[in-house]
Amino acid sequence: MADLIILKLGGSVITDKAGGGGVDYARINELAQEIAERKNIFPILVHGAGSCGHPEAKEHHLHMGLDANNKAGIFITHRAVCGLNDAVVNALRASGVESVGIHPLDACTAKNGRLISFQCGQIELLVKNGIVPVLHGDVVMDEDKGVCIVSGDQLISYLASHIRAKRIGLATDVAGLLQNGGVVRRITPDSVKDLEISRSGSVDVTGGMKGKIDELLLLAEKGIESNIFHVSRVGDFLDGRDHGGTVVAKK
């Protein structure tokens, strides 16, 4: 089987996360075409929720756990992110890419906000057979809290650790981690101490850029590198070229 590639599409690049909501179908179609043009590459695709899930999760306080008053929020939030997932899968299939949605609520369990189980075998089999699995940030049942929100970034961290992915890329609405007007080309567990990393300014119950870097540093500690780059450089990442963004590594 070819090297496993994980590509994460940030919620802010496929929805209007900061504005009035809505799916960016034009952007999704462009990204689907980028993948379709690479006939022998079948990435594991993960996308964020953006405006299709974060507002609902925040309204029902799902990131705080389950209580007697917010159970309906599980359905409402899951329905929102599944709608976005359908849009991504439909765009891929319309471009000639065989793909299928994988919903974490159905396949995962968490404990105190962290994934403890995920059926990864089916994902590897899909890729082996030339089918692109499309996962997303989602509501997940939690042994301690009742329910929690698992971000696309946490999914990447778990998957990369358990299926030995060779390349990991996160496409965002910025060129990488920005500091003093420029892109920080490399981050390590040691160098990150000297950086100022803010959370998202839009509605985000998963930590924004800080949450992203925290997850990728966990991978770096295990010797697994990852890449953050502007969404316009997805093709460069898939082709193994310089993407002009940030590499998160152990050293």
How does pLDDT run across 198-223, given as a tens digit for each residue? Answer: 555 444 555 567 888 888 998 999 99
Region label for 231, one of left (φ > 0), alpha (ψ between -120 and 50) or beta (otherwise): alpha
- CATH number, domain of 194, equals 3.40.1160.10
Note the pLDDT of residue 193: 80
Averaged pLDDT, 24-33: 97
Tokens of 121: 């075998």
Our CA angle for 135, 16, 18, nearest 5°, is: 110
Which pTM does this prediction carry? 0.91
**At residue 103, does pLDDT exceed 80?**
yes
Provide the residue range defining the domain that includes 150. 5-248
**At residue 20, does pLDDT exceed 90?**
no
Domain count, the chain: 1
To the nearest whole number, what is the mean pLDDT of the chain? Answer: 91
Amino acid occupying residue 74: I
Residues 6+ away with beta carbon under 8 Å from 155: 46, 104, 115, 118, 135, 137
Tens-digit pLDDT profile for residues 57-77: 999 999 999 999 999 999 999
- The DSSP string of the chain is -PPPEEEEE-HHHHB-TTTT--B-HHHHHHHHHHHHT-TT---EEEE--TTTTHHHHHHTTGGG---TT-THHHHHHHHHHHHHHHHHHHHHHHTT--EEE--HHHHEEEETTEEEEE--HHHHHHHHTT-EEEEE-EEEEETTTEEEEE-HHHHHHHHHHHHT-SEEEEEESSSSSEETTEE--EE-TTGGGG---PPPSSS-SS-HHHHHHHHHHHHHHTT--EEEEEGGGHHHHHTT---SSEEE---
Note the pLDDT of residue 181: 85
Averaged pLDDT, 84-88: 98
Residues 6+ away with beta carbon under 8 Å from 154: 114, 115, 206, 215
Are the beta carbons of 81 and 115 closer than 8 angstroms? no
Tens-digit pLDDT profile for residues 33-43: 999 999 999 99
